[in-house]
Amino acid sequence: MELKDKNILLGVTGGIAAYKAPGICSLLSKQGANVKVIMTEAAQKFVSKLTFQTMSRNLVYTDMFEEYPQDAEVAHIQLAKWADIFVIAPASANSIAKFANGIGDNLLSATFLAARSKIMIVPAMNTFMLNNPATKENMQKLRNRGIEVLGTHFDLLACNDVGSGKMLEPEEIVEEIDSLLREKDLAGKNVLVTAGPTIEAIDPVRYLTNHSSGKMGYALAEEAQKRGANVTLISGPTSLSRPKVSKFISVISSLDMYQAVTEHFITADIVVKAAAPADYRPKEYHPQKIKKETGDEFRIELERNPDILKLVAAKKQDQIMVGFAAESENELANAMAKLTGKNLDMIIVNNIKAENAGFQSDTNVVTTIDKHKNMERIGEMPKTQLAKVIWDKIKRTFL
């Protein structure tokens, strides 16, 4: 996360979704951000000032003309200057209309007028208010000024109407803030990431697979996307929710993955193969369910799947190729052999037996080895954090 030590100004307007805004505040504070909150008068009818004060460990601002103890400057100017990002969540139709039309009649809208930081608006309102042409025009005006206006969820709303207008969840909003604050250092790069296991069907009921969860590959894909890359993620079956990437391609078997990678490899600048495609598939697929009357013993003959990475890396032009190695012993020697044998620029070695590392874990411990044989061990950290470190490393070494 890029949120540590960032100054985040959170504007809260009046709407039922205001009850979720303390959740945003809490998540941001937990990530190490400094949060200051401005509430409109209407917002204070839904949530108390004290809630935000406790969550942000800062004074809450509500009034244009109140004197705030530590501020020598006028509050709205001082807050506008302080912020790295100004997030208005929830943003009501009324406040959005004020922002779009330059009205500064309360502390929040006046601060908005003075803001020079990045701005994010998170709408929440009744679906008819959202779809009113005036609101739509106002949101478009703000977008045209380079302001990030987020979407809403479709659901049964507090007012009992069904439709769009429900505010995004605090976790989603924090992800968006994180993304907006990222340096776009991979802008213009086409990144191809593979993730997850593959499954190799035996009959319509059974299959062969492995323990890969897809977490590392998804984290790498999302991180690259946040940094401005155009990311294609080719994923085997996982239980993860679909990440925000430019293109998501879902595949089942190693052969499917091979086909998809071959198709997208040509236009890629950087390829990161975090997937664990099955090395073998059943030689024969039984179109009908195999019955146990077949006998007390049952043998499945397997045949080799293509080594996707090796085959595409053999055709590489300027692409930077990064592979993974899952090893349970002799990790460095085996990884080194894969680095050269598969014509890679870098390999990232997992010891799948290490504690808090490997397939299903949320954390990982890896060693990176680049083609010049530079080696670095990266200690235990969440896979999302590791994704950041890996991209920093790719950038430093190759870009």
Distance CA 391, CA 27 (A): 24
Alpha helices (H) in the chain, listed in sequence order: 21-30, 43-46, 49-56, 75-82, 93-101, 107-114, 127-131, 133-144, 170-181, 215-226, 254-265, 308-313, 331-341, 383-398
Q: Which residues, including other chains, have CB under 8 Å from residue 13's CB and lie 6 or more apart?
A: 40, 42, 43, 88, 90, 91, 92, 94, 95, 108
Distance CA 193, CA 271 (A): 6
145 burial type by CB count under 10 A (0-12 exposed, 13-18 middle, 19+ buried) = exposed
Given the complex with ligand CTP, which of 20 and 273 has the nearer CB atom? 273
Structure tokens at 230: 């155009």
Which one, of 350, 381, 355, 353, lies nearest residue 366 by Cα? Answer: 350
Which one, of 211, 209, 206, 199, lies nearest residue 298 by Cα? Answer: 206
Exposure of 252 in the CB half-sphere (CA atoms within 13 A): 5
Bridge-partner residues for 325, per DSSP? 349
Distance CA 135, CA 40 (A): 19
Distance CA 308, CA 315 (A): 11
Q: Does residue 90 have a cis peptide bond before it, meaning omega lies within 30 degrees of 0?
A: yes
* Residues with active-site annotation: 159
Distance CA 154, CA 159 (A): 13
DSSP 270: E
**Dihedrals φ, ψ of 3, to 5°?**
-90, -15
Bridge-partner residues for 366, per DSSP? 350, 378
Question: Cα dist. 389→181, 193, 236, 274, 366 in Å?
Answer: 17, 16, 24, 15, 11
Which one, of 64, 67, 60, 59, lies nearest residue 107 by Cα? Answer: 64
Distance CA 105, CA 142 (A): 18
Residues that bind ligand CTP (CB under 6 A): 254, 273, 275-277, 279, 305, 307-309, 323-326, 338
